[in-house]
């Protein structure tokens, strides 16, 4: 489930997983798969060393009605837009104990792409650290380094409701290992355990 995070540019905005069968994340009107986010974390850190700009591919959905009604779709009562079509295909679990982010969500990426292509357009957005290392830019959104670390922590944990049985996808483990193997001042104080 997406949570609210404080941005420097737009105040509190939504970021997170939004369907346990998929590893897609949303950042307000941007949608991208978690493996792409994890790879972008490595790219953004590498690009911060030489001042280059990393890019991240996202789907951008401009209109709220095309995004749909997240809560209505999750509750099974209002199936409009992308969220509606997604929750028709992958409904919210009946049993509360089944509400866990699935580590094999990456397997549904081709199905999710077919759905989101009806509602969004692919964009390449900047994913970069400013030269002074004071903020991180993801598209039009700017985050402090502390909030950026919270976004990484969220993906590591599997958001809310967390990864099923604590089992993480390989790309999340790779991101954690990469962070652990590199001394990165920007991520100082981030402990992924």
Give the tens place of pLDDT for each residue, 12-70.
Answer: 999 999 999 999 999 999 999 999 999 998 888 776 666 667 888 999 999 999 999 99
Q: Could you tell me if residue 154 is inside a domain?
A: yes
Distance between alpha carbon 98 and the CA centroid of its chain, in Å? 21
Domain count, the chain: 1
Give the whole-angstrom CA distance, residue 19 versus residue 2.
9
Residue 134 in this model has a pLDDT that exceeds 90? no
Q: Could you tell me if residue 59 is inside a domain?
A: yes
Let me know how long the chain is. 193
Q: Is 160 helix (H, G, I), strand (E, B) or coil?
A: coil
pTM: 0.94
Structure tokens at 54: 């990393």
Q: Could you tell me if residue 20 is inside a domain?
A: yes
Query: With bands split at pLDDT 50, 70 and 90, how would you rate the model's confidence at 130?
Result: confident
**What is residue 52's predicted lDDT score, i.e. its pLDDT?**
63
11 CB contacts (<8 Å, ≥6 apart)?
A: none
Structure tokens at 47: 């690009």
pLDDT per residue as tens digits for the range 54-109: 888 999 999 999 999 999 999 999 999 999 999 999 999 999 889 999 999 999 99
Q: Could you tell me if residue 134 is inside a domain?
A: yes
Residue 156 in this model has a pLDDT that exceeds 80? yes
């Amino acid at each position: 489930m997406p949570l609210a995070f404080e941005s420097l540019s737009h105040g509190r905005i939504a970021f997170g997983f939004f369907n346990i069968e998929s590893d897609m994340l949303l950042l307000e009107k941007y949608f991208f798969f978690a493996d792409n986010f994890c790879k972008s974390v490595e790219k953004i850190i590498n690009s911060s060393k030489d001042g280059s700009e990393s890019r991240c591919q996202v789907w951008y959905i401009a209109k709220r009605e095309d995004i749909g009604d997240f809560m209505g779709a999750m509750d099974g009562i209002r199936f409009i837009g992308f969220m509606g079509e997604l929750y028709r295909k992958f409904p919210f679990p009946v049993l509360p104990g089944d509400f866990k982010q699935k580590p094999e969500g990456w397997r549904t990426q081709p199905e999710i792409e077919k759905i989101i292509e009806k509602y969004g357009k692919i964009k390449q957005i900047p994913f970069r650290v400013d030269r002074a290392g004071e903020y991180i830019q993801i598209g039009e959104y700017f985050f402090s380094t502390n909030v950026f670390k919270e976004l990484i922590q969220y993906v590591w944990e599997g958001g809310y409701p967390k990864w099923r049985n604590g089992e993480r996808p390989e790309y999340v483990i790779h991101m954690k290992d990469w962070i652990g193997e590199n001394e990165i001042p920007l991520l100082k104080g981030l402990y992924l355990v």
